[in-house]
Amino acid sequence: MTPEMDENRPLRTYGRIKARTLKPRQAGLVEALLPHLAVPEEGAIDVDELFSPPPCGAGPGVGVTAASSQNAALIPPSQPSPARGEGLILEIGFGGGEHLVAQAVAHPDARFIGVEPFLNGVASCLRHIEESGAQNIRLHQGDARDVIARLPDGSLDLAYILFPDPWPKTRHHKRRLIQPEFLSELARVMKPGAEMRFATDWANYASWTLEHFTRDPRFVWTAERAEDWRTPWPGHATTRYEAKRLGDCAPVWLRFVRA
């Protein structure tokens, strides 16, 4: 990438992309399973093509290099492609993948795209996928904005942003994911009536998010009473980060509908 191209890229909304060295099992999953579940790096995303045929449709080991052939058994067996009864769901910043995989297992007729820049989190998610046998998940390691920019108009039925990097210092607020430009792209890819679910345990980020969404006429805040933002929505699966309670307030749960 040239310096000019790098200067034109938006600010990163996340911190590190890798921490400790992956364990052998994790490394094996990244090598053998991730290529079958990965969202293409470039070009418009054809959702039907992305989910059909299913990964490894020709049987375990297809597409695995000789170096990773010993990990072929980690690839889940071929199953029918997920139906479209519950639509397309996007989770931005899925962390360790606990919530993403739990939702995919609970809603097998939906299609899930998970995006996470942290390699260790992607490896953790792959382990959850391998253990659960979920077939209706595709993954992207990187910036969610790159994926959203390539999704078709009106393709999303539901989106999750759970406990994103809060960038609590004022000078870093410009790095927060929730910005007017991001909401414009999100509105483009969401169907009318689609829902955006956001959670944070940082009071200032909750206020920031509420202000940005309520200023945008394309989104409607659904809360009618305080209990609506004090308790998680039905079917929520607790994330590893959520359980750590690292923020400065109790979790705030915000739901917005695409007008």
d(CA 70, CA 21): 20
At residue 33 the predicted structure's pLDDT band, cuts being 50, 70 and 90, is: very high
Q: What is the pLDDT of residue 207?
A: 97
Q: Comparing C-alpha atoms, which of 91, 82, 77, 90 is closest to residue 52? A: 82
Q: For the purposes of burial, counting CB atoms within 10 Å of the CB of 96, is it exposed (0-12), middle (13-18) or buried (19 or more)?
A: buried
pTM of the model: 0.85
According to the model, what pLDDT value does residue 17 have?
A: 53
CA 120 to chain centre: 14
Residue bearing the bigger pLDDT, 152 or 55: 152
pLDDT for position 53:
63
Average pLDDT, the chain: 85
Max CA separation in the chain (angstroms): 58
Reduced to 3 states, what is the DSSP secondary structure of residue 166? Answer: coil
| Burial (Cβ within 10 Å: 0-12, 13-18, ≥19) of residue 81 | middle
Which position has the higher pLDDT, 137 or 73? 137
pLDDT of 98 higher than 80: yes
**What six digits make up the tokens of 176?**
């927060």
- Distance of alpha carbon 7 from its chain centroid, rounded? 25
Given this model, what pLDDT does residue 73 score?
Answer: 42
What CATH class has 84-259? Answer: alpha beta
pLDDT digits (tens, 9 = 90+) for 166-184: 989 999 899 999 999 999 9
Q: 3-state DSSP call for residue 30? A: helix
- What pLDDT, on a 0 to 100 scale, did the predictor assign at position 60? 34
Specify whether 146 is catalytic.
no
Residue type, 4: E
CA angle 240/256/39 to nearest 5° reads: 60
**Taking 90 as the threshold, does the pLDDT of residue 76 lie above it?**
no
Task: State yes or no: pLDDT of 70 exceeds 90.
Answer: no
Report helix, strand or coil for 141: coil
Q: In the predicted model, is pLDDT for residue 208 greater than 50?
A: yes
In this prediction, residue 52 carries a pLDDT of: 79
Which of these is catalytic: 165, 201, 216, 248?
Answer: 165
Which residues on adjacent β-strands are paired with residue 159? Answer: 90, 196
Domain ranges of the chain: 84-259
